[in-house]
Amino acid sequence: MTGKTFSSVWLREPRKAASPGRTREEIVRAAVELLNEEGLSGLSMRRLGAKLSAGATSLYWYVATKDELLELVYDEVWGEMTVPDPDEVGWREAASVLAHSMRQVILSHPWSADLIGRLPALGPNALHVANEMRRMFKQAGFTGLDTDYAIATLTAYIFGMTIPEIAWNAKSGAEQYDAEEMKSAVARLAARYPHMRESHQMTETEDPRVVREVAFDFGLVSVLDGLERRLPT
């Protein structure tokens, strides 16, 4: 029994523009803008066509399906990430800068979080990032599959810290919670739990964005420390 045939927009050469001023790059940029404004639910070929003053049918000259369009915009996001050269800054600094950049890029494009694990990251930008991550960890001293395990550990941490933050931002933004009222409610609920009460009291006057940034960096350093301990002595 054979499985479904795998297809990807990256498996064929991009078609040339069908009319002056209309290129695949232009379509991708417009799609990213629309996604940033409306999210995944707001993206359709019809709405994208309207944004570009073109018919939805004409867009299918460049992409066969909406999923192919999503592959293109997903790779565009990977292209925004900062990827330092480990030969210049060392593997830990390179991995740290990339991790912070990856988090910020995903936060800047919240819709991209819904594509992680859903679409294959096979575009040139994503493959460049993956290739350089392998180079970072190979420079550190990882070999064989341990290199891939180290990459998986780092990306799992980044996604695990960032995606819930996006979900919460989307929820709180939609509901427009009053910050002081929420703090008061949390304080009341935590009153019976001394360790949680202590935690709340320490952070209640801090900017939540700063706390999340510091928490991300604390965990990142811990992850890199743990990976470094696994290296051959």
0.85 exceeded by pTM? yes
163/213 same-domain check: yes
Residue 43 inside a domain? The answer is: yes
Residue 1 inside a domain? The answer is: no
* Structural domains in the chain (count): 2
127/222 same-domain check: yes
Instruction: Tell me the residue length of the chain.
Output: 233
* 63 phi, psi to nearest 5 deg: -135, 135
46/109 same-domain check: no
The predicted structure's pLDDT at residue 176: 61
State the CATH number of the domain containing residue 117. 1.10.357.10
118/194 same-domain check: yes
215/108 same-domain check: yes
Residue 67: partners with Cβ closer than 8 Å, 6 or more residues away: 119
Q: Last residue of a domain, which of 78, 110, 132?
A: 78
36/109 same-domain check: no
Q: Which domain holds residue 179?
A: 86-229
Are the C-beta atoms of 217 and 104 separated by less than 8 Å? no
Burial status of residue 174 (CB atoms within 10 A of its CB: 0-12, 13-18, 19 or more) = exposed
64/93 same-domain check: no
155/204 same-domain check: yes
Residue 197 inside a domain? The answer is: yes
The predicted structure's pLDDT at residue 193: 86
Residue 2 inside a domain? The answer is: no
Question: Cα(57)–Cα(219) distance, rounded to whole angstroms?
Answer: 47
224/127 same-domain check: yes
The predicted structure's pLDDT at residue 191: 83
Q: Is 22 helix (H, G, I), strand (E, B) or coil?
A: strand
110/185 same-domain check: yes
Question: Cα(227)–Cα(224) distance, rounded to whole angstroms?
Answer: 5
73/91 same-domain check: no
68/124 same-domain check: no
Vertex 75: Cα angle to 72 and 150 (nearest 5): 150
Per-residue pLDDT of the chain (233 residues; tens, 9 = 90+): 567 888 888 988 777 665 555 788 889 999 999 999 999 999 998 899 888 887 666 787 778 888 899 999 999 999 999 999 999 999 999 999 999 999 999 999 999 999 999 988 999 999 999 999 999 999 999 999 999 999 999 999 999 999 999 998 876 554 566 777 877 888 888 888 888 878 777 777 678 888 899 999 999 999 999 999 999 87
Question: Cα(43)–Cα(127) distance, rounded to whole angstroms?
Answer: 25
Residue 207 inside a domain? The answer is: yes
Which neighbouring-strand residues pair with 116? 119
